[in-house]
Structure 1
Amino acid sequence: MAATLLGTILAILLALPVAAAPGTVVQERLSSWPQWRLPVPLPRPGRGDLIYPHWFAGAWEVTSHSLEGDTATPAGPAQEPPLHYRVDFIADRRGRIVGARAANAAAIGRAVLGHRLVSVEDDPANPNRQLARLRDGSLLETRVIGRQVLTLPPDQFLADELSLQVLHGEAAPRVSRVEVLSHYQLEADGTIRGEQWLATYPSPTEGLMASPRSLAQYELRLVPLRPQSGPAS
């Protein structure tokens, strides 16, 4: 079983192209939604992190709601309540702005899963690998295997990431692929407006060419959190 899983991971990694023209994949994916398919020519990220524009620096309160089933009429289907969580973006050792990946993933995971999520850990040797521990004892391993970003004036940022997810538990590991395309716009009032498109694909053992098993779309609003004054030390 371990050899089969390793072969699966190596197959999808080797199938990804080494490079793609800057921004072309992101633009194509944005215009072709929801007609997405794999493979997608996203460059391999290696051990490089996702770098954000400087205006992401700081802590933010996020409100996210699903656009699934939205209609133009007030009589449209009832929507799920929006999710609320906090995310942080910090400077790395080179002064570049990166997400606090484990903390951000844990905040989103708890908003979605509640007490079923125990913890999220970063791989100290690779910013593109995370481990999420669940209450039932299973372990979700996520590895970013493809990424491309695009910055557009004025103050727009897009990022497309493809991840390989392996759920380890008592049964045989379950493998899937997840693609998330994010579009952010800095507003005049200092908030950030965002939209995300998400597709989940089957395991590469079912073929490197694949159509999504599920699609989702979200609207985000990030409001900056200003530090509260505390007692003097």
Structure 2
Amino acid sequence: MFLKTILSIFLIILFLFPTGKAQAGELAERLADFTKWEKLTSVKTAEGDLIYPNWMSGTWKVTSTLVDLAAPLAPDIVTPGFVGNRSQINQPVSFLVRFIKVKQPISGLKNIHKQENKSEILVADRVFNSLNLSRAYLGDEAVIAVKPDPKSPNRQITFFGGERQLVSLVTARTTENTADGKFITAEVFQQYFKGGSRAYFNTVESTTAYYQTPTLNPKIAADQVTAVYLSPQDPDYFTAGSRPVALYRYRLEFFPQ
């Protein structure tokens, strides 16, 4: 049961991670075609952190609501927790997130004066966001800590009671800016849960379209679809092929704090 709950949580929203741009309209079309997904092929290897638009800067109260889900290969293949997740439809969950400005080297400039040759970029506060998300679902006592890899912004470990851990590694990503002002991201990452009766691996793709709303409540909204793919270690891997075994669609609302 704990494994099912953990996997359900980390399919919702991962502010962890622009290298590479999608072909014009590809991600927007993908979001519109919710139940016919296959593995995204236009992503590039994840390097550095994901840069968000400045209008997402600050601290936000996010309300995440599961609005739809599908298991394209059911009843033959169903992921842990999928059936239980049906009870989460239209049940909003709220938590705080923040996006912060950090310095990064300016490409093409010689690194003589290190501070002067850096520009500000907006990134997600990965530890703060992931910790708040997991505690919103499991409670403060269940989640001990979230630790980033000091060598890579694309890897982090969440520690739970009972010496259980969830390791998340972003392997590829792409972004897209649409004519109507949406900022769309797609990230592919590996999940490894260990510490229970057995280890569990899978591959997850999360595609999110962020956009500003005409009102202040919420000021930003997002449409998110998360697809779960089997890892090569799964006995059904070749049966599933490039098709996802679970799809989750969320409505995200951002309220300024």
TM-score range, shorter chain: 0.7 to 0.9
Matches within 5 A, 1:99-138: 99-114=124-139, 115-138=141-164
Query: Helix, strand or coil: the match of 2:43?
Result: coil
| Aligned pair partner of 2:189 in 160, 163, 178 | 163
Show the counterpart of 1:65: 65
Aligned to 1:212: 244
1:210 partner SS: coil
RMSD of Structure 2 on Structure 1 (CA): 2.4
Residue equivalent to 1:230 = none
Partner of 1:96: 121
With over 3 angstroms needed to count, the CA separation of the structure-2 counterparts of 1:20 and 1:118, relative to structure 1, is same
Please identify, of 98-107 and 163-172, the stretch whose mean Cα deviation from structure 2 is larger: 163-172
Aligned to 1:139: 165
Query: Shift of the alpha carbon at 1:41?
Result: 3.1
AA partner of residue 51 (structure 2) = I
Q: CA deviation at 1:172?
A: 4.8
Match of 1:202 among 230, 237, 255: 230
Q: 1:85 aligns with which of 88, 95, 115?
A: 95
Contact residue 178 and residue 201 of structure 1 kept, 8 A: yes
Separation in structure 1 between the aligned mates of residue 32 and residue 68 of structure 2, nearest angstrom: 18
Distance in 2 (alpha carbons) for counterparts of 1:199 and 1:78: 17
CA distance in 1, matches of 2:56, 2:62: 13
Residue 53 of structure 1 is matched in structure 2 by: 53
TM-score (structure 2 length as normaliser): 0.70
Structure 1 residue 198: deviation in Å?
0.9
Contact 1:23-1:149 at 8 Å conserved across structures = no
**Could you say what secondary structure the match of 1:67 adopts?**
strand
C-alpha change, 1:35 and 1:136, in structure 2 (3 Å) is: farther
* Percent of paired sites with the same residue: 28
1:45–1:146 CA contact under 8 A, matched in 2: yes
> Is the CA contact 1:64–1:84 (under 8 Å) kept in the aligned structure 2?
yes
* Equivalent AA in structure 1 for residue 135 of structure 2: R
Q: Report deviation, 1:152.
A: 2.1
Q: Which residue of 2 aligns with 1:183?
A: 209
1:116–1:136 CA contact under 8 A, matched in 2: no
Corresponding position of 2:42? 41
Structure 2 SS opposite 1:55: helix
d(CA) in 1 for partners of 2:133 and 2:144?
A: 13
Q: Kindly tell me: are residues 183 and 49 of structure 1, through their superposed partners in 2, closer, same or farther at Cα, counting changes over 3 Å?
A: same
Aligned to 2:170, the other structure's residue is in SS state: strand
Verify the 8 A CA contact 2:66 2:88 in the aligned structure 1: no
- Of structures 1 and 2, the one with the larger relative CO (CA 8 A, separation 6+) is 2
Whole-Å Cα distance in 2 between the matches of residues 197 and 22 of structure 1? Answer: 19
The 10-residue stretch of structure 1 (158-167 or 26-35) with the greater mean CA deviation from structure 2: 26-35
Alignment deviations for residues 181-204 of structure 1 (CA, whole Å, 9 cap, x no partner): 101111233400111101111112
How far apart in 2 are the matches of 1:79 and 1:147?
27
Shift of 1:170: 5.2
In 2, distance between residues paired with 1:23 and 1:144?
Answer: 23
Long gaps (5+) in structure 1: 1-17, 70-76, 226-233
Q: Could you state the TM-score of these two structures normalised by the residue count of structure 1?
A: 0.77
Which ranges of structure 2 fall in alignment gaps of 5 or more residues? 1-18, 70-86, 104-118
